[in-house]
Amino acid sequence: MAKLHLITYGCQMNEYDSERVAGLLKSRQYDLTEDESDADLILLNTCAIREKAEDKVFSRLGQLRALKQRRPDVVIGVMGCMAQLHQAEIQRRAPIVDLVFGSPAIARVGELVEAVRQGRRRILDTGEAPLVKITARPASASRLKAYVTVMEGCEKHCTFCVVPTTRGRERSHAPATILDEIRGLVAEGCREVTLLGQTVNAYGRDLTPPTDLAVLFAQVDAIEGLARIRFTTSNPYNLTARLIAAIRDVPKVCEYFHLPLQSGSDRVLAAMNRGYTRGEYLRLVDALREAVPDIALSTDVIVGFPGETEEDFRATLEAAAAVGYDNAFVFRYSPRPGTPAAAMPGQIAPEVKAERNARLLEVTRRSAAARSDRLAGRTVEVLVDGASRKSARELSGRTRCNRVVNFDGQGRVAPGDLVHAVIDEVLPHSLRGHLAPSEEAVCSWR
């Protein structure tokens, strides 16, 4: 067997793609290795969403130069968003790279690697290709939880984002192929799926006949043996009353919603081309909470977007405080070459971005702590993952609202069980609890 070392940067879509690549290469006799010096093939699955992410990739390629000099037969490849966006720069700055390919070429990764090996020449494949559902996964992938891509691409054209360029237009996978993939995963022991798309709540509108995520939820819910359904990422613009009702009514859909706000200022939201106002966003949050009072909300926010004034930023602080997120990912705006925002006047100084970043994090940290505190003393459903990382005597799992719970249950329950745990202690990054008393603690099959 040859050895594959895979380095993944960025979002869940990239993690998913990496799993597929490892699965496809497994059938070409490549086994995964953690040790790059032992590898015959090194692939970097890259992210272009922020400059920092790109810098990391170039620095990693620089580190690999010595290895390539020592072992010129090692094939080094770059895939993912940077491959799609910066082919020429990668070739210029990192001549050690033998293979550059975009997401549409993933299905052909085995052939591409073979062609490099046979011809000892560099290959570039970043063109369009038909949408293919790849279900291969490496043996090392989690048995209990899996990502399942339901759509690719995005057509929103937010002015700061490179995704429409790197991932192309919106294309949904047919429900039948998605359901087949999930049935296969469940047959291997999977208990939780996360349905993935750049704008997952726009799912299905490009299909013939059109469908939507609410219908898909009901279809996935009917799969016996599956315990939980999650989904990400949504755009507020596409959040419909039908979807909110489905989150309330479909039993396996978890009460957790990642709804990017990006800014609380209408002026900045318009400049970002987000397609909603702060008022519309807050009304969606009200509708979600009315339908599912206990729903956990998380978000993405960008601080220091071009032209963002102190007043705009205060509007973001107020909106974040008004929502009271369970979790928030705050990013300093990073200009992406080729995007409209990169050329906008009023670029914000790094120190102002840093200061706003810290102020917003303080607000979101407080609301996340308050949201966690409400769980103290409550009995929650936990999907057991396995032994706790902190103590081998404890088990670890996640609540439906996606919080980690460590609890004493060794020998009584097993990974994959759905149990009830009573929360004794709320810690900054996790919860500690004990199994709810009685046989009824285990609320599903093993």
* Distance separating alpha carbons of residues 236 and 132, to the nearest angstrom: 28
- Establish if 65 lies at the interface with ligand SF4 (CB under 6 A): no
Judged by DSSP in three states, 259 sits in coil
Q: How far is the CB of 198 from ligand SF4 (least distance, A)?
A: 4
- Among residues 433, 439, 422, the alpha carbon closest in space to that of 394 is found at 433
- Establish if 81 lies at the interface with ligand SF4 (CB under 6 A): no
Nearer to ligand SF4, 3 or 258 (CB): 258
What pairs with residue 80 in β-bridges? 46
Q: How far is the CB of 273 from ligand SF4 (least distance, A)?
A: 8
Q: How far is the CB of 441 from ligand SF4 (least distance, A)?
A: 40
Nearer to ligand SF4, 110 or 164 (CB): 164
Residues 402-421 that bind ligand SF4 (CB under 6 A): none
**CB 290, CB 341: distance < 8 Å:** no
Nearer to ligand SF4, 274 or 398 (CB): 274
Q: How far is the CB of 119 from ligand SF4 (least distance, A)?
A: 36
Nearer to ligand SF4, 260 or 415 (CB): 260
**CB 193, CB 182: distance < 8 Å:** yes
The token duo for 408 is 């004493």
Q: How far is the CB of 104 from ligand SF4 (least distance, A)?
A: 17
Nearer to ligand SF4, 39 or 158 (CB): 158
Q: How far is the CB of 268 from ligand SF4 (least distance, A)?
A: 14
Nearer to ligand SF4, 157 or 412 (CB): 157
The helix (run of H) or strand (run of E) holding residue 240 is none
Binding pattern to ligand SF4, positions 91-130, x when CB under 6 A? ----------------------------------------
Judged by DSSP in three states, 97 sits in coil
Judged by DSSP in three states, 426 sits in strand
Whether the link from the prior residue into 240 is cis, omega within 30° of 0, is no
Q: How far is the CB of 160 from ligand SF4 (least distance, A)?
A: 7
Region for residue 309 given its phi and psi (left: phi exceeds 0; alpha: psi -120 to 50; beta: otherwise): beta
Q: How far is the CB of 305 from ligand SF4 (least distance, A)?
A: 12
Nearer to ligand SF4, 158 or 226 (CB): 158
DSSP assignment of 11-63: SHHHHHHHHHHHHHHHTTTEEE-S-GGG-SEEEEEE--SSHHHHHHHHHHHHH
CA-CA-CA-CA torsion sign (376, 379, 384, 386): positive
- Establish if 48 lies at the interface with ligand SF4 (CB under 6 A): no
Q: How far is the CB of 382 from ligand SF4 (least distance, A)?
A: 31
Q: How far is the CB of 355 from ligand SF4 (least distance, A)?
A: 24
Nearer to ligand SF4, 13 or 292 (CB): 13
Residues 129-168 that bind ligand SF4 (CB under 6 A): 154, 156-158, 161, 163-164
The token duo for 171 is 């294309």
Query: Cβ neighbours of residue 275 under 8 Å, at least 6 residues apart?
Result: 156, 235, 236, 237
Nearer to ligand SF4, 235 or 327 (CB): 235
- Establish if 199 lies at the interface with ligand SF4 (CB under 6 A): yes
Residues 213-252 that bind ligand SF4 (CB under 6 A): 235
Summary count for the chain: helices (H), strands (E): 13, 19
- Kindly state the number of chain residues that form the binding site for ligand SF4, as judged by CB under 6 A: 10
**CB 71, CB 38: distance < 8 Å:** no
Nearer to ligand SF4, 110 or 340 (CB): 340
Q: Give helix 278-291 / helix 241-249 axis angle, nearest 10°.
A: 30
* Distance separating alpha carbons of residues 315 and 279, to the nearest angstrom: 11
Query: Cβ neighbours of residue 192 under 8 Å, at least 6 residues apart?
Result: 144, 145, 146, 226, 227, 228, 229, 230, 383
Nearer to ligand SF4, 90 or 161 (CB): 161
- Establish if 198 lies at the interface with ligand SF4 (CB under 6 A): yes
* Distance separating alpha carbons of residues 225 and 387, to the nearest angstrom: 22
Q: How far is the CB of 276 from ligand SF4 (least distance, A)?
A: 11
Positions touching ligand SF4 (CB under 6 A) are 154, 156-158, 161, 163-164, 198-199, 235
